[in-house]
Chains A and B, each alone.
Chain A
C-alpha cells in the first residue's frame, strides 16, 4: 500500500503538503504526528472519505481514485474512525453486516458468523447485544469487526486508544498483532509514543502535513527520537513542580454516593480532601466513577448520599452557577459537548460563566464581554480567528486553552479538571499542565482526574486511585511504584474489599 505526494487543502489550511506513506503487508504501521500534523486527513484520503487535490493512492501496485469510502473498501481498505459510526439500537451482529448484507437477514446465521470472526481474531464480543449497552472499548471492537467482515486487508485505526483504558489498549495490541500475522496490514494512528514502541513494527512521522520520517523500524528507534521528530525539536516534558506549602482543605468530599447514567451505583461512599496549594490526582480505569465524581462536585449530577464542602461550606446539590460563584472552576471531560458552545462565537464562549457580570440592566455590554474575552485570549495564549465568529473553527488545543482560561481567569479556589490534556498535542498538553500548576501556586486546590499515569505522577502532590466507585488507595507520587498503582486500579490492592 502506498500513498505518495498527497496534497489536500481546506479553506485556510493545507492539511497535507505532499505527504507520503508506504505500508508493508502483514505489519503494524504507526502514523505519528501532533494534532494538526495531517494524520487524520491523510487517512481519510486513503479511506476514500476525502479526495486528494494531488497525489497517488495505490494498493498492491494498482493505482486507485476513490470516490467514496465504499470504493476504498472494495480495494480492501477499512477505517475505524475516532467517532464510531454505529447504530445504537442495533445488535453487534446487525451493525457488523449493516449495509453489506444483500440477502435476507438470518439473525442466527449472522450472529454465528460474527462470533466466529471475532473468535478468530480474539475480539471478545457478544453478537446479540445491542450496541448502546456496550462500553467504548466494545464498540471499537464492533467497528473493527465491521472492517474485517468486509474483508479489509488494510485496516486504519484513527487514535484507537483514545477511548480505551490501558488494559483495553493492551488487548487491542494483541488483536492487531493477530491480524498482522494473518497477513493483513494495520495502520495505527496515535500520539502516544509508548504504544507505538510497544506494538508497532514501523512508524511514519508527519509534521506540518509532510512526511518527515518514512517507515522507520521501531526496533531501531526509541520514543525520544520519535518525539523529537514529531515536534521538530527536543521533546518538551513538564518537570515536576517544586513543592509548595499547603493550606486548609478547600474541597472536602465525605461519604459521597451517586448513580451513574444507567441508574446503577457509580460512587459508593467516596471521601477525599484537597487542600489549598496542592494538586490531588485521581487515577483509575475509565468507568470507575471518576466522571460521576467530577459531575457531582460540579453540580451536574445529583448525589444520593454524602456531602461536598467548598472552603468549609456545605455545597451539596448546589447549582453549577452558585458553585462557580463560590470559587469552583470545572474543566469537564467533554469539552465541545459540555464546556463550550461550538456554534456561538469565541466571545460568547468566553463569557459563558460570567455573562451576569457584563450586564447593564438586561443587556450584555459587548465592550465588557469583548474585553473579558481578549483578556482570556491574551493571558492564556489562545490562537483564534475573529472573536465574533463561531468558535468551532479553533483547533483542539486552542479550544481547551479557551475553556481552561475561562475557568481559571476568575482565580478559583478549587479547580476540578477532568481529562484536561486528553487528545492534545505535546505543546497543548504542556500549556494546560503549566496552567494547572500555576493555579496550584496561586493557592488553589486542584483535583486532577486523568488516564495518563505519567501526567499524574509528574503533577500531583498526592495520588488517589479509584476502583468501582470508591477510593481504594492513596500514593505519594514521588515514591510510588507504578505496578502498585496499576494493581490498585484494577482492584487487586491490599484492603480492597466490598
Chain B
C-alpha cells in the first residue's frame, strides 16, 4: 500500500511558485464548491461574482488595488523587520497612529494648497507610524525588551486614542452626535488614477520596490539579513546591532504609518475607528506568505486584496459573512500550501499502514 509523504525538494523549484500557487488555488476553490453547495448557493455564480467584483473590469481592479495598498504596506512593515529577525506585530497600531497624525496635519493645513497638503498628510502618516514604533524600537535595542509584546500592546493604545479623539476633541459638530471626525478638505485627498484607484497605489508600489532593492542589493540590506540570520554572526562581522534594530523598527513603523496616511487621504476621507480594519494583522499574514521577503509582498497583497474584495461582494447575494470568511481563508490556505509545495513535494512511497506496524510491534 502506498502512502503520501512530504519530501523536501533537492532544490527550491525555480518558477515553481506561480505553478503551485495555481494548484493551491484550484484545490481551495474545489473545497469551496462543497462548502457553497452545502450552504445552498450556486458555486459557479458565487465564484463568478467574486471574480467580477475583484478583477472583472477596470473599476473592480481599482477597488482591489486600493485594498492591496494598506495590505501591502502593512506586509512590508512586518517583512522589513522580519528580514532582521524582528517581529513587528504592531502594524495595526502604527497604521492608526499614522492616520491620527495625518488627520491632525489635515486639520492644521486646511488652508494650504492641494499638493502641499497631500504631501504633508502622507509625511504626517510616516511620522506618526515611526513615532508609534519608536518606543518599542528603543526598548528593544537598548535594553532588549521583546518587541513582539510592546508592538502588540501599543495596538490597543492606538485604538483607544483614536476612539478618544473621535468621541472627544475631534468630533465632527455636524455628525448628528455620531463619533466621527470631520472630513478632510477635498483638496487634501489623493489624486485619482483611474476608476477609484488613487495615487497611493503607485506610492505603495514604489516604496515596496525600493525596500526590496534595499534589502536584497545594498550593503545596508546585507547587514540586515546577516543580523536576521544570527546576532552573534552579525557582531562577528562587525555590525553594531543596537542602532540597526532601532532604525529598522522605526522604518517599519513609518511604512505602516504611510498606509494610515494613504487610507485617510485616499479611501476613508476622515479619521474613523475602523480606518485600519485589521490591515495591520492581515499584514502579518501577507509577510508570512511572502516568506518575509519585501520583494514578494506586492504580489501577495494583490491576491489578498482581490480575495477580500471578492469575499465582501458575495455577501450582497445572500452568502453569509461567515461562509464568505471561510472561503477567503480557504483561498489563502491554498496559497500557503502552495508556498510549502514549492519547497517540498508529495511522494507516494510504499509503506505499511499503521495497523500492520502496530501488529509487528505487538508480536
Contacts and interface: CB of A to CB of B under 8 A. Distances in A.
Interface string B1-34: 0000001111110000000000000000000000
Interface stretch (A183-191, A274-282, A335-343, A448-456): A335-343
Interface residues of B, number: 32
Given A11-B9, A362-B219, A363-B217, A71 B361 contact: yes
B277 interface: no
Interface string B231-251: 011011111100000000000
Q: Which of B9, B214, B218, B237 has the most CB of A within 10 A?
A: B237
B238 A320 contact: yes
A334 B11 CA distance: 27
Given A344-B229, A348-B222, A352-B226, A11 B217 contact: no
A389 interface: yes
Interface in B196-245: 214, 217-220, 222, 225-226, 228-230, 232-233, 235-240
A339 B10 contact: no
A355 interface: yes
B225 A339 contact: no
Contacts of A352: 226, 233, 236-237
A10 B347 CA distance: 13
A62 B349 CA distance: 25
A320 B237 contact: yes
Interface string B340-363: 000000000100101001001101
Contact of A338 (B9, B214, B233, B240): B233
Contacts of B363: 62
A67 interface: yes
A320 B240 CA distance: 10
Contacts of A351: 222
B232 A64 contact: no
Contacts of A344: 225-226, 229
A320 B232 CA distance: 12
B8 A11 contact: yes
A294 to B, nearest CB: 12
Contacts of B226: 341, 344, 348, 352
A379 interface: no
Contacts of A372: none
A364 B233 contact: no
A246 B8 CA distance: 52
Interface in B87-122: none
A271 B341 CA distance: 57
Given A64-B361, A65-B360, A356-B219, A342 B8 contact: no
Nearest to B236: A338
Nearest to A339: B236
A340 B233 contact: yes
B238 A321 contact: yes
Interface residues of A, number: 42
B346 to A, nearest CB: 14
Contacts of A339: 233, 236
A330 B232 CA distance: 14
B238 A322 contact: yes
A319 interface: yes
A255 B238 CA distance: 25
A63 B363 CA distance: 9
Interface in A101-123: none
A337 B11 contact: no
B235 A337 contact: no
A300 interface: yes
A334 B232 contact: yes
A321 to B, nearest CB: 3
Contacts of B218: 362-364
Contacts of A385: 11
A411 interface: no
B222 A364 contact: yes
Interface in B321-355: 349, 352, 354
Contacts of B354: 67
Contacts of B237: 320-321, 352-353
A217 interface: no
Nearest to B351: A51
A65 B357 CA distance: 7
Contacts of B217: 363-364, 366
A380 interface: no
A240 interface: no
A98 B360 CA distance: 28
Contacts of B357: 65, 67
A78 interface: no
A359 interface: yes
Contacts of B230: 337-338, 341-342
Interface centre among B218, B238, B360 (most CB of A within 10 A): B238
A64 B360 contact: yes
Given A341-B230, A362-B220, A300 B236 contact: yes
Nearest to B356: A65
A198 B354 CA distance: 44
Contacts of B220: 362
A338 B222 contact: no
B10 A320 contact: no
Given A12-B10, A363-B217, A63 B236 contact: no
A330 to B, nearest CB: 8
B320 to A, nearest CB: 42
A53 B347 CA distance: 13
A377 B210 CA distance: 32
Contacts of A209: none
A11 B219 contact: no
B341 to A, nearest CB: 15
Given A11-B8, A324-B238, A339-B233, 18 more contacts: A320-B235, A320-B237, A321-B238, A322-B238, A338-B233, A340-B233, A341-B226, A341-B230, A342-B230, A344-B225, A352-B236, A355-B219, A362-B214, A362-B220, A363-B217, A364-B217, A366-B217, A389-B12
6 contacts: A300-B235, A322-B238, A338-B233, A338-B236, A342-B229, A362-B218
